[in-house]
């Protein structure tokens, strides 16, 4: 397996400390804090470890404090419900004695029912688009150190953007974008594992989409952005090592917050998941 993907697989596997208590390690991905997708994925791992015979179908989470990637994170699971068809779990992520994140997740026994979905957007296939996993070196050299460290890190996923990002001179654009992504290597055929990987990936591109109508240049380093809450719904079976289309739109930004939602589609057009996120988007105040 590709080394970066194998490392992420290790990160998403937690150490069991006691009944309902788990510990995870973090990785420095070039940001000032633990990547939100990592905490989502690890919290889902902790919740899943307490459920048998059921698969996660939704989660709702809040990011409370910045995570420190130099210290372990402890995940405490509350077994709120084990019903006939559904199980519910509450997870609190704790670091340095304080909660940094909490999540509720629901699991369901697989069963048949009504079927319908909206159509996948018409976009070029990933093979017709350039690899967007990392900006070119000449662009990285002009970026602020914080942003450069984040973007130049090798990643276990490949991205193909339908709408290219102009980092140097971003133009005002409608608040929507589509991105193809997949893992760089094959993963075991475990549905729960692929859903945890998708939870990790889902923190990419959502909040950024809320800035598109405003033409904000990341190079100017004038914006503070941070995830506040995050929700996911898993509709159908999926594989993150096959191409998935992330179709994101931002219906609103107000009150120094941006809101975005997205559908995740398989290559065959199936809607496999939906996501939504609200986050802080605050303009930095110039120092006098």
Q: Residues near 244 by Cβ (< 8 Å), separated by ≥ 6?
A: 180, 181, 182, 198, 238, 264, 265, 266, 267, 272
* CA–CA gap between residue 43 and residue 91 (Å, rounded): 6
Active site residue 133: no
Catalytic residue, candidates 87, 203, 208, 216: 203
What are the angstrom distances between the C-alpha of 122 and each of 119, 174, 198? 9, 17, 22
DSSP-derived letter for residue 2 is -
User: What sections of the chain are H helices per DSSP?
Assistant: 3-12, 36-48, 137-140, 145-151, 191-201, 206-209
Structure tokens at 241: 């090592």
**Burial grade of 113 (CB within 10 A; 0-12, 13-18, 19 or more):** exposed
**Residue at token pair 């992520």:** 93
* CA–CA gap between residue 283 and residue 6 (Å, rounded): 38
Specify the DSSP element, H or E, that contains 169.
none
Active site residue 85: no
Active site residue 227: yes
Count of CB atoms situated within 10 Å of the CB of 71: 12
Count of CB atoms situated within 10 Å of the CB of 200: 23
* CA–CA gap between residue 248 and residue 191 (Å, rounded): 23
Helix (H, G, I), strand (E, B) or coil at 178: strand
Catalytic residue, candidates 106, 216, 227, 250: 227
Which residues are identified as catalytic?
Answer: 203, 227, 277
């Amino acid at each position: 397996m590709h080394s970066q993907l194998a490392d992420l697989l290790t990160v998403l596997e937690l150490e069991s400390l006691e009944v309902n208590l788990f510990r995870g390690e973090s990785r420095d991905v070039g940001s000032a804090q633990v990547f939100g997708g990592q905490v989502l994925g690890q919290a889902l791992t902790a919740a899943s470890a307490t459920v048998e015979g059921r698969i996660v179908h939704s989660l709702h989470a809040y990011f409370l404090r910045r995570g420190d990637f130099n210290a372990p994170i402890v995940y405490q699971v509350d077994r709120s419900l084990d019903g006939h068809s559904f199980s519910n779990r509450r997870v609190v992520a704790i670091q340095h004695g304080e909660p940094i994140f909490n999540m509720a997740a629901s699991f369901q026994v697989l069963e048949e029912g009504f079927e319908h979905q909206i159509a996948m957007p018409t976009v070029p296939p990933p093979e017709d688009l350039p690899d967007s996993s990392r900006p070119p070196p000449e662009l990285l050299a002009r970026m602020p150190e914080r942003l450069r460290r984040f973007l130049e890190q090798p990643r276990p996923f490949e991205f193909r953007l339908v709408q290219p990002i102009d980092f140097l001179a971003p133009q005002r654009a409608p608040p929507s974008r589509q991105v193809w992504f997949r893992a760089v290597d094959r993963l075991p055929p475990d549905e729960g594992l692929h859903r945890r990987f998708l939870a990790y990936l889902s923190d990419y591109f959502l909040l950024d989409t809320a800035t598109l109508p405003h033409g904000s240049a990341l190079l100017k380093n004038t914006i503070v952005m941070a995830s506040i809450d995050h929700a996911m719904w898993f509709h159908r079976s999926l594989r993150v090592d096959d191409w998935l289309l992330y179709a994101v739109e931002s219906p609103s930004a107000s009150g120094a917050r941006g809101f975005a939602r997205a559908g995740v589609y398989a290559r065959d057009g199936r809607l496999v998941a939906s996501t939504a996120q609200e986050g802080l988007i605050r303009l930095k105040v110039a120092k006098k």
